[in-house]
Amino acid sequence: MLALAFFWLVSCGGMPGNLPVFSSPEPVVSATPTFDPAIPPEYLTQAALPRTIPPPPTEIPTETPTPTITPSLTPSITPSSTRTPRLFSPAALGTQVIDMGYQPITLEGVSQLIPIWQTMKPVVRQAVPSGDNQKLFISTANGLFVFDQSGAQLAHWFDVFTHARPCKSCLTVNREGTLFAVLTRNAGRWEAQVYEVRDTRWKNLRLSIPLEAAYRGQENEGLVLLSPDGNFLAYAAGDSALRVFNLNNGRQVLTSDKPLRDLQFSANSALLAARDGRNLLIYDTQTWQKPVSLLLPANDTPFALSPDAGLLAITFSNRLRMYSLQTLKTAREVTVPDGKPRAWELTFLDENRLQGRSVSWNAARTQATIITAEWEALSGKNLRFETSQTSSPSPYPATWPQEVALPDLTNGLGVGEYNGFRYITSEMLLVGTSQAVCWVKIFSGEQNCFSDPQNRLFSTDTIALKEIVQEKRTLLQNWRGEAILDVFGDYRVRAVDRSGEWVVIDVRGAAADLYAKGRSRASESVGGAFQAFAETRTLFAYTTQQKSKTFVITIFDKASGKTLAQQKDVFLLSPLLLNRQGTLFLLKRDLDKGQVIVQAMQAPRYTIREVKRLSLPAEVQTFTYSTKEDLLAFALADGSVWVYSSDFEVSQVFQAADSPVTALAFSPDDRFLAIASAEGVRVFAVRP
């Protein structure tokens, strides 16, 4: 009954945030706004179930709207068939997971994968207050948190994310905090999602809009913005057109193929300002007619609209200038107190108080100088000018009254760059980084961890190892102090096989040497910097990259201690994979076509042959077989995982993380798929 109750709560819109987790200035003409009846109004108001708007057509005819236009609201809507179910409340580290009879993962079941267990660092992506400044919405690697001004947590939704790449406009909230939107990655593509908040603690997905835009992995690659009154939604990603929808009637009120960015609604929602290079376009949201334009001093000139839509503030060089928004004429210009040019972030505190915040780093980016200033808008009078030093600027808005404490749920588990990530048994997962090695049993909540802040850690299937850095000596020991490797030379260990019998060291980027346990001479030495390795019980394969950008691929037999094959290739990606038959799979870039070429080296000749060309939205970070080797999973830099049949004829995709997935592991019974990113670990299973 408890298990059924848990999944009933999850399927009805997510668990409440405070419940315990069960289971452990010249007028110019801009692009003319376009009305497109893309969404019937009833489609927007039925908020009980998640809905998806299909992507708008690539070419939308542009017409000047007239009072006689009556858009039809009858086009058919085809919900997206690839939407990833993202309603979940996974168990945390140290909490038992109840086995609900999860079935082995099949290709058809990929769309039903849900996270049943996770441990994540609370990395803050973006923090945005509601327009009335009563609630703070914080997007993190561990989902979305909501706090009030007293610091009390109102809600925590594990299944709402913004992407990990820095983005200053990927989370937006309306005035009362009853509506918010995010720009995220879902099923390997950009998606704008709008949520309603009910009774403070509950959220409901009202609308999702997929965006057909390429993933580039850049800062501020997209944006999403709600008007304070919650009537309009603006969004864009990559090189896609900016679009604004009326959320009340489903009409598209603006589309612009120009790269409009840095959008701001006035606090009364009467105006929308958008930057087009040096041009600042200002739209009247009542008519959405042709905007007026103001030529700014530079492409990155900061600006802010006053709450009553009466003033526009900009800063440039060491000057602060105010414009009347009715005439776009200068109302006041003053010099910043210290007279130095700075990059400001501007915010109106009310109709006549303007706040500026400037952050500048030293050359080493170890110390930041933060200047907070406040001016009387109409008179230009300086009200405040404060300077502070910090090594870690607060990610929270300057207008928020206090810092917020987020829970760190890693509980000793090392996360970051993984050198060991695999299932040891169907219930035990090994998670190894250079800081910590842990064996975790997710069903019992048990964990056994080793950490050493002084030395780099590695692991076999059963033992934690530490590399002790000494002058002119490479020493690898187990926890009892017994030497696994002790060779002359201050080199660095790069890889250890599952048995602990073979170790690869990097010789200052000039060579990668393979040593047998207890031996002082290398069994194999390959020129170039070590890149990656793969293994089975009998074979060990690794690659090095030489200065000529040529990669050397080496396949080594553990039993005989002999090299079976060595080949060279170019434009290889790092990941390698060996199957049970001893075939080595490589990934290669096709720079001209933007594809990934899957290649294979098969015994006995081990020549390189092409297997398949894949078109994927982001770069592959790693890939792995299921235990039965009937599925092949590729983890990408955008956080998605693409699962293929063994013949590559059929595929499915799901969004596993909001940052690059750098490690993958199927359980021996194929019922669970564990993924790892820089912020933590998740375990997925098929929804029962």
33 falls within a domain = yes
What's 543's domain CATH number? 2.130.10.10
Q: Which of 287, 282, 176 is CA-nearest to residue 229?
A: 176
Average pLDDT over residues 532-553: 94
**Domain carrying residue 598:** 452-615
273 and 308 belong to one structural domain:
no
216 and 325 belong to one structural domain:
no
Does the pLDDT value for residue 81 go beyond 60?
A: no
Give me the pLDDT at residue 302, please. Answer: 93
151 falls within a domain = yes
Instruction: List the single range of 43-57, 264-278, 626-640, 645-659 with lowest mean pLDDT.
Output: 43-57
Give me the pLDDT at residue 477, please. Answer: 94
In the structure encoding, which two tokens stand for residue 496, read together? Answer: 């250890």
Integer Cα distance of 607 and 663 in angstroms: 27
pLDDT band at 38 (very low <50, low <70, confident <90, very high): very low
Does the pLDDT value for residue 82 go beyond 50?
A: no
150 and 172 belong to one structural domain:
yes
Query: How would you classify the pairing of strands 261-265 and 511-516?
Result: unpaired
267 and 334 belong to one structural domain:
no
Does the pLDDT value for residue 49 go beyond 50?
A: no
Give me the pLDDT at residue 482, please. Answer: 92
368 and 227 belong to one structural domain:
no
Average pLDDT over residues 567-590: 95
Average pLDDT over residues 332-350: 83
324 and 259 belong to one structural domain:
no
Q: What is the mean pLDDT of the chain?
A: 85
Give me the pLDDT at residue 8, please. Answer: 37
Does the pLDDT value for residue 47 go beyond 80?
A: no
Q: How far, CA to CA in Å, does 302 sit from each of 200, 264, 297, 650?
A: 34, 11, 10, 49
- For 24-134, strand residue ranges (E) read 91-92, 113-120, 124-129
394 and 459 belong to one structural domain:
no
What's 343's domain CATH number? 2.40.128
Q: What is the pLDDT of residues 481-528, one digit of tens each?
A: 999 999 988 899 999 999 999 999 999 999 999 999 999 899 999 999
Q: How many domains does the chain have?
A: 3
What's 17's domain CATH number? 2.40.128.630
Count of CB atoms situated within 10 Å of the CB of 263: 21
Average pLDDT over residues 579-589: 96
660 falls within a domain = no
179 and 248 belong to one structural domain:
yes
383 and 467 belong to one structural domain:
no
Integer Cα distance of 676 and 117 in angstroms: 12
522 and 573 belong to one structural domain:
yes
417 falls within a domain = no
Q: Which of 460, 411, 404 is CA-nearest to residue 432?
A: 460
Give me the pLDDT at residue 422, please. Answer: 97
Q: What is the DSSP secondary structure assignment for residue 108, as one 8-state letter?
A: T
595 falls within a domain = yes
| Domain boundary residue, one of 277, 295, 313 | 295
**This prediction's pTM:** 0.84
239 and 124 belong to one structural domain:
yes
